Amino acid sequence: MAELTGRVAVVTGGTRGIGRAIVERLVAEGASVWVLARSVDAGRALEGALPGTSFLATDVSDPDEVTAAAKEITRVAGRVDLLVCNAGITRDDLLLRMSDDDWNDVLDVNLKGAFHCLRAFLRPISKSDAGAVLCIGSVVGTMGNAGQANYAASKAGLVGLVRSAAKEYAGRGVRINVLAPGFIETEMTEVLPEEVREPLLARIPLGRVGSAEEVASVAVFLLSPRASYITGQVVAVNGGLHP
């Protein structure tokens, strides 16, 4: 029997990149997966291509939409066991040129979006006998990155949010962790010009970028009973990339 058979999982931003890889691995392990994302076309395409998934158009920066999604999933599925807060955006620019909108948009999706999801889903998850939450952070949240002050701040903020929530819900048996990828080959990174990619690669001890599947493997482990004594942690998947 697959490891997560019978579990109900929710993944935000699960239509592409790391999020989609996590969705695919969760389904392979037997979970029923609800995917929350803004793109209706991408969500419907995923739902049609991958049995075991259901899609709800949801903007995680909108607390009302997240609350409505949580109520609908709980009503239809009857339970929620696992949550992956993966939805994220970038609006890169140097700090002195960064607009208020670019700052606010990134924080609203990456950090407030995770807060909205934790607040909406932790109640049903706390009723599970194996509840687990994973927020997708970034190596940038600990090392910083020129031109990404907003993104780095949002990912650093996830660490404080998760460690606080982990302490609040440990007594209810819910484990909450951060998974912090490094330089991973996704649609978000494949557009980087070579003059940006090469210096990054030179700093990675393993000498290559990672894959979304490698991140998903660790994500499923952290959500599984095999990680039953891990909570409030930041788990890096970065090929050795550190400040």
How many angstroms separate the CA atoms of 107 and 114, rounded? Answer: 10
**Complete edge-to-edge strand list for the sheet that includes strand 132-136:** 53-57, 32-37, 8-12, 82-85, 132-136, 175-181, 234-237
Three-state secondary-structure class, residue 146:
coil
How many angstroms separate the CA atoms of 220 and 30, rounded? Answer: 11
Cβ proximity of 31 and 52 under 8 Å: yes
| Six-digit token string for 71 | 């109520």
**Which of 34, 103, 151, 169 is flagged as catalytic?**
151
Cβ proximity of 154 and 102 under 8 Å: no
How many angstroms separate the CA atoms of 68 and 87, rounded? Answer: 17
Three-state secondary-structure class, residue 239:
coil
Cβ proximity of 114 and 135 under 8 Å: yes
The DSSP secondary-structure symbol of 186 reads: S
151 assigned to active site: yes
Burial of 202 (0-12, 13-18, 19+ CB in 10 A): exposed
- Report the catalytic residues: 151
